[in-house]
Amino acid sequence: MTDTDLTTRRARFVYEGARLAAQAANAPIVPAPWNEREQTFKVQFRDVIDRQCGARRSRSPEDLHDSWMRAYTAMGWKYGLEYDPKAKTHPDLIPYAELHRLERDKDAVFVALCEIARRWIYRSADAIEVLAARAKRKAT
């Protein structure tokens, strides 16, 4: 597998994990499944995950929210009282400090999911090395 595949696997994990967390919390906005998202969203999301799994990652939910706002604004979204993907309006396009606790918690969950992806979803070659080492230990 290539590094692009690694980033895509991490992105899908983080996205679906955050989506399930939103469902479990009865959040007012639960994103559509990864497979239903538009390509422009997936491209920018993979860029975020690539950064979050690298040396330039942010551990601050506030910084990530600001980054999310910039990315959504760049895709043509604007603040609106209601979430409407067709009109590209989102009620969370406000400063982090103004978010409801549930939305701030969602950003913290995102940071945690990115860290899990960074640490435990790795290149296939690395996984093969780990399995080979386990097999070698088991054989001795």
Is the separation of the CB atoms in 67 and 47 below 8 Å? no
Tens-digit pLDDT profile for residues 93-106: 999 999 999 999 99
Residue 33 tokens, joined? 């499944």
pLDDT above 80: residue 1? no
Tens-digit pLDDT profile for residues 56-90: 999 999 999 999 999 999 999 999 999 999 999 99
How many degrees, rounded to 5, is the angle at CA 10 between CA 9 and CA 14?
120
Domain residue extents for the chain? 3-71+102-139
pLDDT above 90: residue 129? no
Tell me the whole-structure pTM to 2 decimals.
0.83
